[in-house]
Structure 1
Amino acid sequence: MRVLQVSAELFPLLKTGGLADVAGALPAALAAAGAEPRLLVPGFPAIHDALTQECAVAPVALPWSEGRAALLRGRLPGFEQLVYVLDAPGLFDRPGNPYADDGGVAYADNHRRFALLGLAAARLAEGLDASWRPDIVHAHDWHAGLACAHVAASRARRRSEAKAVFTVHNLAYQGLFPAGHFGELGLPASHYAMEGVEFYGQVSFMKAGLHFADAITTVSPTYAREIQTPEQGCGLDGLLRHRADALHGILNGVDYRVWSPVDDAAIAARYSADDASAKAACKTALQRECGLAVTPEAPLFGIVSRLTEQKGLPLVLEALDELLAGGGQLVVLGAGDARLEAEFAAAAARHPAQVARRVGMDEGLAHRILAGSDVVLVPSRFEPCGLTQLYGLSYGALPLVHRVGGLADTVVDTTLEDLAAGTATGFVFDAFTADACRRALRRAFALWRRPEDWARVREAAMRQRFGWDIAAARYVDLYGDLLYR
């Protein structure tokens, strides 16, 4: 079966979060599982500049008057699958990240930019490339949500028989735009309705995906249940309950070609579950790189994250005095909320030997933090899947997590029973409160004081496997159900 993966990001060329890691790893896993995948991505500079063996497929007509767009086909480094690049310089050839300028201000025409991405996906499903026509259009997150609406419109006009799958990576980011922009999206007028893209007087790209997709997936089983509740449904829980039969929780995977300490060129020394002794060298190197005191006996806690309230980082700040008083150290890598950035910067200034803070996203440093840390902190308020805790397991940085979403699906708490059974892999707290987070922190310190037990839990964590082969097999089964049921 031919599957078109549609994403706004693609690791290693363009990444703001876990979406890029998924888009970068899933195509190869789908190919190994028997599908024939290709990718469709916007022509952002990093992607356009990396494209080789480029050929023009066809122009893409714009739903508005000015500008031009065309579909290119070619190769990108690291991908065996052919890639389609939506070439529209007026929309995509800009500084900043895919969604905002260098100052963090969202581009005013994002509705046009990502509506065109969805429209291009539907045109491919209609046969725009005479040599390849997808059976399945798989759209990722709100940026690609309109692909599902356009594919449904194509089917209604008998221009395509393709089916659409929509994956929710984070329901909180919905792609909301004023209703006045609807006329620029290229959709039938009937699509602006409660049973369509309208959402409380606005246009919702996320709702477009949820309403028009033939199947909906989320990136963990627990998150699939949680988003059907008012607490985590972000106003869309009613629609998700209505579509529950089409909703599937498929846990994200890890690309162990990229995220494994066995052969990671970015870290100071390589190690494995069989022999993790070189992890100590990674810790020393990280302490030196970040200007921390080189003290092997201090448990080192790492954060690699967007600095947002959703990630539970206020809980870390509330527990920080206890972490430091216990002799711990903290390394923070990330950017985001100005208040959180300022508070972590202030903590680093007050405690330079124990707290280090690095701004932005540095892929190599992220690897070194996981390799050098003893614990990785992921205390999210909500977490669709979370990849950081999975990377932490691989590198033997025991995850300390809130029991929610994919964190609940992937980390086993250090209860007495699970310690005895050898299944414990981290530290899990239930209530989203500073007290609950502190108690988990105390359990981490208590285990740290028992080196043999710590080593056993670390080995169990490193032996966990969440490969993309499992997720890809489930996706292929889902595609087959849509095509052949």
Structure 2
Amino acid sequence: MSLRVLYACSEVFPLLKTGGLADVSAGLPPALAAQGADVRLLLPAFPSIVAGVVPEGPSLLVPSGDTVGLPHGLGPQPGTVNGPTPWLQRGYIEASGLPVWLLHAPGLYDRPGNPYQDASGKPWPDAAEQFAWLGWAAALLGTGLDSGWVPDVVHGHDWHTGLAFAYLHRLVAAGHRRPAGVFTVHNLAYQGVFGPQVRERLGLPDELFHLHGLEFHGQVSFMKAGLQFADAITTVSPTYAREITGAEQGCGLDGVLRERRDRLHGILNGVDDAVWDPANDALVQPDFSADDLRGKAAAKARLQQRLGLQVLPDALLFCVVSRLTEQKGLHLLPGVVDELVRRGGQLAVLGAGDPLIEQALQHAAQRHPGAVGLHIGYDEGLAHTVIAGSDVILVPSRFEPCGLTQLYGLRYGTLPLVRAVGGLVDTVTDSSLENIDDGRASGFVFHELTEDDLLAALRRAFALRRREADWRAVQRHAMSLRFDWARAATDTLKVYALARADATGTASA
């Protein structure tokens, strides 16, 4: 019988995407299925997700925390939804065929706009209830709510699913079936921390609210719940797995992670070749490859025209495709733009975020018409155009659990310029003389989060570009690298096996 995996997450490309989590949710489950796993997604019924799912079969009610047969008071209470009891609708994603459970909860998901923030950019006031119900549904499915399909593994992603593992802990203690629990941290900085007053509404008993539970400085941390109660923890690169056990990037949870270091695994994300492949990208025509880069030259000209840049084939064109935040290191960018342009470079920016960074880049575009192009917002098609048409992609992050845009850059021969953190240092090798000589160079790496260090890396990019043969050699090597979901799936299945062995060995605990 196939390994049954319940894959719980809050978004999936192309139905709903606010960041890299959606790309992972689109790429990893099919890769797991290709290796024999029976994977079903559990998703909240946000409008754009509902629109892309074809329903099939009967629905299932999700019993609330006052239901007979469940531990008294455990789980979200009836008053936490504005209407009837939440329910699960089975279906499949029309674009990919991935099987899903959609969690419908009146008043919690069926609302316009961003799934996590209201129109003013503040978290929805009922965010704790939104994702407590998601965790509760995952826990109940894990213990057998659907008798026709009972998962061997519950795999939750980021803080939105953290309570699943706390609820599972209490359900198992009350005699319910125990699946293996695997929790993936995509970004430890976002933790889902709420005031202690949510405990009663969410059915979080005193037995869970302590230092070795989900209590975090007197508050409730959904992230900590996942870290404490899952059988295994994964994160999205080996270096980030090490970094988060230290104080600088542990975000206050490094002590927990050090205690559970033996359960912590770093698995690099992959790139979906069906979406990001310059030889078969419908959004980038004509296509191109490492052996024939004429299409990339055309993509560069098209990008320059699209963003109002001068059409100069030899200008070194840098790009940014990112949230414009300090976490991404982009507070440094306005301070180096003038020097970048003075050296004959151009800059294309696609993103949105910190208003001060946006404003500074807008001023730079005004100072340097034809050399700095800016598109505030996000557009998936334009992202392909920007990455395909640029020469260098900038990812100067303060911290970066894995990063995907540098992987897209490698694939498209757009050399990544990155800071030596997290998945960036795991995937990009600096174009030092010895690395070029060894044939290992694939981009530019700097270390200190300063304008001076960023400028030094920019100067190395300009220097390499003047050496045509070396530039082409680095570009060809970058395009030959493969970070695929098949490898990530193989590593994930190994973690599932470890988690299942642990769950089986301690089922009576």
TM-score, normalization: structure 1?
A: 0.98
Give the aligned partner of residue 446 of structure 2.
429
Give the aligned partner of residue 20 of structure 1.
22
1:193 aligns with 2:210: yes
SS at match of 1:287: helix
What is the CA distance between 1:483 and its match in structure 2?
A: 1.8
Give the aligned partner of residue 297 of structure 2.
280
Contact 1:28 1:80 (C-alpha < 8 Å) held by counterparts? no
1:382 aligns with 2:395: no
Give the aligned partner of residue 8 of structure 2.
6
Contact 1:165 1:213 (C-alpha < 8 Å) held by counterparts? yes
Give the aligned partner of residue 455 of structure 1.
472
Q: Which stretch shifts more, 312-321 or 139-148?
A: 312-321
1:175 to 192, 196, 219: 192
Give the aligned partner of residue 69 of structure 2.
none
What is the CA distance between 1:78 and its match in structure 2?
A: 2.8
Q: Partner letter of residue 166 of structure 1?
A: F
SS at match of 1:34: coil
Contact 1:153 1:187 (C-alpha < 8 Å) held by counterparts? no
Contact 1:329 1:355 (C-alpha < 8 Å) held by counterparts? yes
Contact 2:243 2:422 (C-alpha < 8 Å) held by counterparts? yes
For 1:65 and 1:120, locate their aligned partners in 2 and report how far apart those are by CA, in whole Å. 14
With over 3 angstroms needed to count, the CA separation of the structure-2 counterparts of 1:187 and 1:135, relative to structure 1, is: farther
1:79 aligns with 2:96: yes
Q: Partner letter of residue 403 of structure 2?
A: G
Contact 1:57 1:129 (C-alpha < 8 Å) held by counterparts? no
Give the aligned partner of residue 56 of structure 2.
54
1:330 to 337, 347, 350: 347
Give the aligned partner of residue 251 of structure 1.
268
What is the CA distance between 1:187 and its match in structure 2?
A: 3.0
Give the aligned partner of residue 64 of structure 1.
77
Q: Which stretch shifts more, 303-312 or 59-68?
A: 59-68
**Structure 2 stretches lacking a partner, 5+ long:** 65-75, 503-509
Give the aligned partner of residue 95 of structure 1.
112
Give the aligned partner of residue 431 of structure 2.
414
SS at match of 2:416: strand
1:367 aligns with 2:380: no
For 1:191 and 1:412, locate their aligned partners in 2 and report how far apart those are by CA, in whole Å. 44
Give the aligned partner of residue 506 of structure 2.
none
Give the aligned partner of residue 209 of structure 1.
226
Give the aligned partner of residue 155 of structure 1.
172
Contact 2:52 2:95 (C-alpha < 8 Å) held by counterparts? no
> Superposed, which structure 2 residues align to 1:284-303 within 5 Å?
284-303=301-320
Q: Which stretch shifts more, 279-288 or 338-347?
A: 338-347
For 1:320 and 1:254, locate their aligned partners in 2 and report how far apart those are by CA, in whole Å. 30
SS at match of 2:118: coil
For 1:49 and 1:56, locate their aligned partners in 2 and report how far apart those are by CA, in whole Å. 18
Alpha-carbon displacement from aligned partner over 1:122-164 (angstroms, at most 9, x marks no partner): 1101211121011111000011111111222221122121011
Give the aligned partner of residue 124 of structure 1.
141
Contact 1:286 1:372 (C-alpha < 8 Å) held by counterparts? yes
SS at match of 1:131: coil
Give the aligned partner of residue 42 of structure 2.
40
2:496 to 465, 479, 482: 479
What is the CA distance between 1:289 and its match in structure 2?
A: 0.7
What is the CA distance between 1:275 and its match in structure 2?
A: 1.5
For 2:51 and 2:105, locate their aligned partners in 1 and report how far apart those are by CA, in whole Å. 13
Q: Partner letter of residue 65 of structure 1?
A: P
Q: Which stretch shifts more, 372-381 or 32-41?
A: 32-41
SS at match of 2:40: strand
2:285 to 268, 276, 287: 268
What is the CA distance between 1:56 and its match in structure 2?
A: 3.3
What is the CA distance between 1:268 and its match in structure 2?
A: 3.4
SS at match of 1:255: coil
Q: Partner letter of residue 272 of structure 1?
A: S
SS at match of 1:413: coil
What is the CA distance between 1:75 and its match in structure 2?
A: 1.1
Alpha-carbon displacement from aligned partner over 1:20-73 (angstroms, at most 9, x marks no partner): 000111110001122111100000001112221333331113423333310010
Q: Which stretch shifts more, 382-391 or 64-73?
A: 64-73
What is the CA distance between 1:415 and its match in structure 2?
A: 0.7
What is the CA distance between 1:188 and its match in structure 2?
A: 3.0
For 1:187 and 1:469, locate their aligned partners in 2 and report how far apart those are by CA, in whole Å. 38
Instruction: Give the alignment's Cα RMSD to 1 decimal.
Output: 1.1
Contact 2:9 2:160 (C-alpha < 8 Å) held by counterparts? yes
SS at match of 1:377: strand
Q: Partner letter of residue 39 of structure 2?
A: P
SS at match of 1:4: strand
For 1:350 and 1:64, locate their aligned partners in 2 and report how far apart those are by CA, in whole Å. 57
For 2:270 and 2:262, locate their aligned partners in 1 and report how far apart those are by CA, in whole Å. 23
How many residues are paired up?
485
Percent identical across equivalent pairs? Answer: 56
Q: Partner letter of residue 60 of structure 1?
A: V
Q: Which stretch shifts more, 318-327 or 181-190?
A: 181-190
1:344 to 351, 361, 370: 361
